[in-house]
């Protein structure tokens, strides 16, 4: 089985750096409904993007060890704003609205899409987009469209496969290999794919250490 969270592939110092960052004070800041309501770009930012119900909020809660920090829901499309979290004045984490929710109204889809695009392509403090892909389903057309946009605008992104505890080991290998092949020649894609499970805590050490390298020391 391919394992991106193999402890041998991450130094103890990196793991500790990530642990210490997320052991600090983590607070929900605000929900932005327009670029005018975004906080000042005074800290480096990362964001979590992905299809509706891919597990963005659950992953934020798992990373921070705070169950109710981000509002996770079984109802797709619940996140409708840019939700900002402050990691001890060292980093902003942004939970983006999920895309691909078929039951959302056309007006809502247009508004979410416009807000997300304007944020992704106009936020100077955005250091990396973590693009979450449900390992049970692999990349979909909406994911490819977002990758294309990020490549065209040179916004760095990294793939995070979620919910790996829900599929067999052979299926994890298959989706990993397919995803790795997909991003090989994409100019803005970070080459390392992270395998995660919010429920079983797989891959959290690697993701924390990756994020810690972006945050202010």
Interatomic CA distance for residues 157 and 46, integer angstroms: 10
Quote the pLDDT of residue 103. 62
Query: Apex CA 12: angle with CA 167 and CA 173, to 5°?
Result: 20
Quote the pLDDT of residue 102. 55
Quote the pLDDT of residue 140. 96
Residue 55 structure tokens: 């597990």
Query: pLDDT tens, position by position, for the chain (217 residues)?
Result: 455 444 447 899 999 999 999 999 999 999 998 999 999 999 999 999 999 899 999 999 999 999 889 876 444 444 578 999 999 999 999 999 888 765 667 777 787 788 888 999 889 999 999 999 999 999 999 999 999 999 999 999 999 999 999 999 999 999 999 999 999 999 999 999 999 999 999 999 999 999 999 999 9
Quote the pLDDT of residue 107. 78
Class of domain 7-212: alpha beta
Task: Name the strands in the sheet holding 26-32, side by side, starting at the edge strand that comes first in the sequence.
Answer: 26-32, 82-87, 91-95, 45-50, 126-134, 157-162, 189-195
Cβ(96)–Cβ(49) below 8 Å: yes
Interatomic CA distance for residues 42 and 64, integer angstroms: 21
Quote the pLDDT of residue 8. 43
Quote the pLDDT of residue 72. 63
Quote the pLDDT of residue 75. 46
Q: Where are the domains of the chain?
A: 7-212
């Amino acid at each position: 089985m391919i394992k991106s969270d193999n402890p041998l592939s991450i130094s103890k110092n990196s793991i500790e750096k990530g642990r210490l960052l997320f052991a600090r004070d983590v607070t929900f800041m605000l929900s932005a409904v327009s670029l005018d309501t975004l906080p000042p770009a005074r800290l480096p930012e990362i964001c979590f993007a992905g299809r509706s119900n891919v597990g963005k909020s659950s992953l934020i809660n798992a990373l921070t060890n705070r169950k109710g920090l981000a509002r996770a829901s079984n109802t797709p499309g619940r996140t409708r704003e840019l939700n900002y979290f402050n990691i001890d004045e060292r980093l902003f984490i942004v939970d983006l609205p999920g895309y691909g929710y078929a039951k959302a109204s056309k007006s809502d889809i247009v508004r979410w899409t416009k807000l997300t695009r304007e944020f992704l392509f106009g936020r100077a403090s955005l250091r990396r987009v973590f693009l979450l892909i449900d390992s049970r389903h692999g990349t979909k057309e909406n994911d490819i469209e977002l990758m294309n946009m990020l490549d065209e605008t040179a916004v760095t992104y990294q793939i995070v496969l979620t919910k790996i505890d829900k599929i067999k080991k052979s299926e994890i290998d298959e989706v990993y290999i397919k995803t790795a092949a997909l991003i090989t020649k994409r100019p803005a894609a970070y080459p390392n794919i992270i395998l995660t499970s919010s429920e079983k805590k797989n891959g959290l050490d690697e993701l924390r250490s990756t994020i810690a390298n972006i945050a202010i020391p």
